[in-house]
């Protein structure tokens, strides 16, 4: 029987990225976010966005900045704990 090992959290902003993406009007899909990042020169595909949101992918500081810019939110908001 194969056991699933839960990955360690590799970032602290994943949940906030998902929340910000879904709060946009209209909602921004993972694919749309990847496209917005590509327009800024940041090569993150849809599956990488998914891994960021699931906290299984590390996020570089310049990537966090680009994500905040793409979602039109302050970068500090990504680092505030949500309840």
Does 23 map to a domain? yes
Per residue in 11-66, pLDDT (tens digit) is: 999 999 999 999 999 999 999 999 999 999 999 999 999 999 999 999 999 999 99
Q: Which residue has the tokens 């056991």?
A: 3
Distance of alpha carbon 43 from alpha carbon 7, whole angstroms: 23
For residue 35, being part of any structural domain is answered with yes
pLDDT digits (tens, 9 = 90+) for 67-80: 999 999 999 999 98
CA 79 to chain centre: 12
Q: Give the total number of structural domains in the chain.
A: 1
CATH of the domain at 44: 1.10.260
| 71 contacts 33 by C-beta, under 8 angstroms | yes
Asked, for residue 82, whether it belongs to a domain, the answer is no
């Amino acid at each position: 029987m194969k056991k699933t090992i839960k990955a360690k959290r590799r970032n602290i902003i994943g949940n906030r990225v998902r929340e910000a993406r879904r709060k946009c009007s209209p909602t921004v899909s993972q694919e749309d976010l990847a496209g917005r990042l590509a327009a800024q020169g940041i090569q993150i595909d849809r599956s990488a966005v998914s891994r960021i949101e699931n906290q299984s992918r590390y996020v570089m500081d310049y990537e966090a900045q680009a994500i905040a810019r793409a979602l039109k939110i302050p970068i500090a908001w990504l680092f505030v704990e949500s309840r």
